[in-house]
Chains A and B, each alone.
Chain A
Amino acid sequence: DQQVKQNSPSLSVQEGRISILNCDYTNSMFDYFLWYKKYPAEGPTFLISISSIKDKNEDGRFTVFLNKSAKHLSLHIVPSQPGDSAVYFCAASGGGSGGSNYKLTFGKGTLLTVNP
């Protein structure tokens, strides 16, 4: 049972335009959400996160929006740059039991390609 879903395996965007990556989750107990970026042959790197008590968090060109009623979050990248081309993973934490705070549940990732 996949609790975190990224339904778009890939996304292609022109340089300078907005990239919107989407993520849905099913576990209403999740209380923290994160985005990671992964380049080939490297480990994932943390990008931005949001607590369930917020609906928006912004960090430079990156903004994450959380819609708890829809169990949906999105990552906006504005403006997109060719160096942003990577696989983006959505992850969630929490879930009720004590140990759940020490586990990240990941989506399968979305490959973003930013064309010059």
Chain B
Amino acid sequence: KAGVTQTPRYLIKTRGQQVTLSCSPISGHRSVSWYQQTPGQGLQFLFEYFSETQRNKGNFPGRFSGRQFSNSRSEMNVSTLELGDSALYLCASSFTGGPDTEAFFGQGTRLTVV
């Protein structure tokens, strides 16, 4: 059974550019969540999608956006990149997104903004 796949694994962008990260969940999983991991802040919740609907959003500026497609694949976009956006971006999928269902994480996309 394939796990959660995130692409690309590594990315280097320049300040002011925009970036799109992709997440393919485990087959059958309809919930996809995104998290940002930085050394100082740990894992911080960005947003969660279920059946193409955003059900919750974290405290991030509007430059961070996401969407989910009908096949449950999800993308997140960061516009007007800042140096502080350098982080590991993790995607997690689960059947329902509730806390009683195990969430499986991908290996993440390491974004470096220069």
Contact = CB atoms under 8 A, between A and B. Distances in A.
B43 A102 contact: no
Interface string B87-105: 0001010000111101111
A101 B106 contact: no
A109 B58 CA distance: 19
Chain B interface main SS type: strand
Interface of B: 4, 31, 33, 35, 41-45, 48, 50, 55-58, 90, 92, 97-100, 102-108
Given A43-B107, A101-B99, 20 more contacts: A32-B99, A41-B107, A42-B107, A43-B104, A44-B90, A44-B105, A45-B105, A46-B102, A46-B104, A51-B100, A89-B42, A91-B43, A93-B99, A94-B99, A102-B48, A102-B56, A103-B33, A105-B45, A107-B42, A108-B41
